[in-house]
Amino acid sequence: MSVTAAAPHAWAQVAPPSPAPPPAAPSTPPASAATDGHSAIIERVLVRVNGEIFTQSQLTNRQIGVLRELKESAGSTTNLEAELSRLTPDILVRAIDQLLIAQHGRELGITFTDDQFKSAVENIKKQNKLDDDGLRRAMQQEGMTMDELRQNIEFSYLEQGVQQREIGPSMTITLEEQRQYYKRHGDRFMTPLTVTLRELSISVPTQTQNGKEVSSVADDNDARTRIDGLRTRALGGEDFAALVSANSDSATKASGGLIGPVNVSDLSDALKDVVSSLEPGGVSEPIRTTRGYQIFKLETRSVPELHPFDDVRREIENAIRNERLEPETQKLLTRLRSQAVIEWKDESLRQIYEKRVAETTTAAADPS
């Protein structure tokens, strides 16, 4: 589920913070206090930013979110502990930056109301096709509470509001700048390469042995002989769609095997290789799949064309604005950091934070 809700300031789409692996053990244990005869764990404060706290549990939640995303994208092969160590500095910097931006937003009089939160939640439900129960289940799977969701969206809203007020006035983009960007980055504004295909499939019967689907050599040979024969007939001039309708085992049989038009970028690597080897009207060699054999006929291949300038002006304007947004935001953050009272309660985290801030500041000053 995506928990990113579009804030009203649509010109600056900045992702809200992710709830985010179990961190390294804290260098100092959490404090405890006796309450009514019982021992109560006091939340461990890591840092105070202008009096506002960031705690161990907040850091842990953000780290968990990062690890979850890494697992989903990279699988179990990723060294999660090493990745966590690498990413924690950025998590710390992002967390403190968000506090600074949010505080500055409130100073500017930007507020986030209950009605705006309700509207944002409705947008999330609509975008993800969820009802209330579905949203609750999705949030449980992500380990997120409704309060945390609200905080994420509010941070995003305040951040975008600050950017609009502080950076927006300097974001005037001339027509000539847009034309120059269009000229330099024409490859970004091309129509996609598309193809229209027809497929013909011959399945190979299988049976389950020891929990696996297997086929006999004889059945495999029979299917290969059939597909070879059908390909020969297609190459000989017989109508491919008619051959599909009479012989194919694929779900596209009723439409003569028609697929597309589809973007080539959306095809599997194997099918991209097949398509690239064919000219319109060509028929591929048989391909062995998990279900049997397939052949493809390339019906058409589009020629990518440059979109007219006027059709992509808004896209160009957004691209230029986004390129400017990050360095301008970093300038703002540098100012807010210099004015802030940041009190660290963990010396090792302070060193990690300050090192990462210095690195990002140097990188921003020298983008080469």
* 66-105 per-position pLDDT tens digit: 888 877 766 655 677 788 888 999 999 999 999 999 999 9
Model pTM greater than 0.85?
Answer: no
Check: CB of residue 257 under 8 Å from CB of residue 247: no
- For 110-149, write each residue's pLDDT tens digit: 999 999 999 999 999 999 999 999 999 999 888 788 998 9
Task: Check pLDDT > 90 for residue 26.
Answer: no
Which is it for the CA torsion 259, 262, 268, 273, positive or negative? Answer: positive
Residue spans of the domains in the chain: they are 32-175+310-365, 194-301
- When pLDDT is averaged across residues 269-290 and rounded to a whole number, the result is 92
Preceding amide of 304 cis, omega within 30: no
| Domain 32-175+310-365 in this protein, CATH class | mainly alpha
pLDDT at 206 over 80: yes
Q: What is the pLDDT of residue 27?
A: 42
The average confidence (pLDDT) of the chain is 85
Coil vs helix vs strand at 288: strand
Q: Does domain 194-301 have CATH number 3.10.50.40?
A: yes
* pLDDT of residue 4 exceeding 50: no
User: For the segment 284-309, what is each residue's pLDDT rounded down to a tens digit?
Assistant: 999 998 889 999 999 999 989 999 99
Task: List Cα–Cα distances, 169 to 196, 325, 348, in angstroms.
Answer: 47, 12, 39
Give the pLDDT score at 11. 35
User: What separation, in Å, do the N-terminal and C-terminal C-alpha atoms of the chain show?
Assistant: 37
